Structure 1
């Protein structure tokens, strides 16, 4: 596994945020329900992402030594009035510019507190890149569009990161949903049908008695999902269903449903 460069993550943050923000300038309905997060409207989604970007900018810029309360972050509230697409678009663009500027100025090795124990700006560049991919899919679906395309190397890294997060939360949140992801002898194979083997087209996930393990590679598994890499990624993010038309499920479907129900931040 090879991480992307710090600059590439920053570029992807700008790109993915631009795609999400474009929904506002294209006239998408701010009141539309986000089907993958039905408690949110599209406006709620944009506010959530913009606040995450501003909180991350503050964390990186100040070289935070501990978690920063949201109410200490300038501009975190968003536009004064709800329902103003132009104001929301401007605020969201400013949020994007702020976080990419802070990350580039800091460089990957600058100290910045994180909830996962990797306390540097590199963690936040990677995390915000992939946060924008998943919420970009949410925004597209709310606007009646298909999720956007993701460069193969970015999608592969996003899958790696998600599996790392599941491993982490299983250890760090012993009472969270991921604690149940233990099924001795049962494995899940992910296979990207459109990705060059040199990049890494396969992941093997094990649900061992001691917790989740994973590695890049291909072998027989209890259950398998095959399809375009972006679709496999969106499935594991729970942004596409198992019966999406470009995905093929082989073996124990119930194991995949179990994984999707329990693989969570908490």
Structure 2
């Protein structure tokens, strides 16, 4: 179940604030293990550039994709000092939240998905920031934490993105259609949330494609642990064998899923 639109607008700023706190306390040259092509400074520029790009899409009510080089300030501050980067990140998040609020959820805006509304970007940029904050926290040795409703919605959104890719015939997902996986599935189970939070997911695999729903049910493999850690495993930001979650059953099914969805 989606969060209210205004909540996403607020979370863009809140999650960016937490990212800024991590980046301020670390060396910008620190490599990011979960995004090995980037150091912390480059990760921060990626996030802040995405915020400005989405803000420009919403501001202009874009009907097609905008080239990154047309977006003011996209490439980050120069020189890239810690103080300048911190200010730049804050400004980009504020800009995005302001444009989203001015537009409203139903404003028509180009997206790369089926949903062509500002609401898509409010949700996408919230979770883009959450997941890259997990990257930054991991690189800096900071304990990652996130609100349960935000984390659960991030898992929902990722599954919806994968469904969209599946409908488009994405070849990367073909391993999930293997006949030997038919009838198997994955159960995600958060152990630190109350039952009414519904923080459990069942993903059923079949030759015609996967299906998912929020449900407590048995599957070929289960991932059990704190919701923030289940989210990180599902987004490949935490190894399943890290000891922070339990993997029960056929671990190979989970490995196949994570390998097929490694582009997120």
TM-score normalised to structure 1 length:
0.95
Question: What residue in structure 1 maps to residue 173 of structure 2?
Answer: 178
1:16 is the counterpart of 2:15:
yes
1:31 is the counterpart of 2:29:
yes
Closer/same/farther in 2, CA of residues 265 and 38 from structure 1, 3 Å limit:
closer
1:5 is the counterpart of 2:1:
no
Q: After TM superposition, which residue ranges in structure 1, 4 or more long, deviate above 4 angstroms?
A: none
Q: Distance in 1 between matches of 2:174 and 2:186?
A: 17
Q: Distance in 2 between matches of 1:201 and 1:45?
A: 29
Deviation at 1:265, TM superposition (A): 4.0
Equivalent residue of 1:65, what SS?
A: coil
Q: Distance in 2 between matches of 1:45 and 1:132?
A: 10
Matches within 5 A, 1:114-263: 114-147=111-144, 149-175=145-171, 177-182=172-177, 183-263=181-261
Point out where structure 1 has 5 or more consecutive residues left out of the alignment: none
Q: Distance in 1 between matches of 2:143 and 2:35?
A: 16
TM-score normalised to structure 2 length:
0.95
1:220-259 CA deviation, whole Å, 9 max, x = no partner? 2111111111111111011111122231111001111111
Q: Distance in 2 between matches of 1:71 and 1:4?
A: 32
1:113-163 CA deviation, whole Å, 9 max, x = no partner? 11012011111000011111100011111112122x111111111111111
Deviation at 1:170, TM superposition (A): 2.2
Q: Distance in 2 between matches of 1:62 and 1:47?
A: 22
Aligned length: 261
Contact map agreement 2:22 2:142 (CA 8 A) in 1:
no
**What is the root-mean-square deviation in Å for CA atoms of aligned residues?**
1.3
Q: Distance in 1 between matches of 2:237 and 2:148?
A: 18
Equivalent residue of 2:243, what SS?
A: coil
Point out where structure 2 has 5 or more consecutive residues left out of the alignment: none
Contact map agreement 1:24 1:86 (CA 8 A) in 2:
no
Closer/same/farther in 2, CA of residues 29 and 173 from structure 1, 3 Å limit:
farther
Deviation at 1:77, TM superposition (A): 1.7
Q: Distance in 1 between matches of 2:218 and 2:59?
A: 46
Q: Distance in 1 between matches of 2:239 and 2:263?
A: 19
